[in-house]
Amino acid sequence: MSVPGKAAKHAGGLYRKTFLRHPVQAVEAEAKHLREIEQKGESGETPFIAILGLILFLLPIFAVMLGLAFGAYYLFK
């Protein structure tokens, strides 16, 4: 294999890995940071962080229950 071919293969592997891992790590770091702010309770944004966490926790449960209800409605109509 030629030198440019090896370089392209090496660079392609590097960019694929960072594209998949880097955004996830950034989101995890931000979630940890918001959790620390909420636990300390020193910031004025603490109630908003807690409410957002509660909404994000309950939203999937609500979506599943709504889907089951509509499914049962259309199935037994």
Domain shared by 73 and 36, yes or no: no
Q: How many residues are present in the chain?
A: 77
Q: How far apart are CA 45 and CA 50, in angstroms?
A: 9
52 and 20 in a common domain: no
pLDDT, residue 73, reads 96
Total domain count, the chain: 2
- CB-based contacts of 53, cutoff 8 Å, min separation 6: 38
Q: Note whether 55 and 66 are same-domain residues.
A: yes
Residues 50 and 15 reside in one and the same domain: no
For residue 60, what pLDDT is reported? 96
**Do 54 and 38 belong to one domain?**
no
pTM given for the model: 0.54
Q: Which residues contact 45 (CB under 8 A, 6 or more apart)?
A: 37
The reported pLDDT for the residue numbered 16 is 57
Q: Please give the average pLDDT of every successive group of 10 residues along the chain, which has 77 residues.
A: 68 57 76 86 85 93 98 93
User: Letter for the amino acid at 23?
Assistant: P
d(CA 14, CA 48): 38
Residues 53 and 74 both lie in one domain: yes
Q: Which domain holds residue 1?
A: 1-43
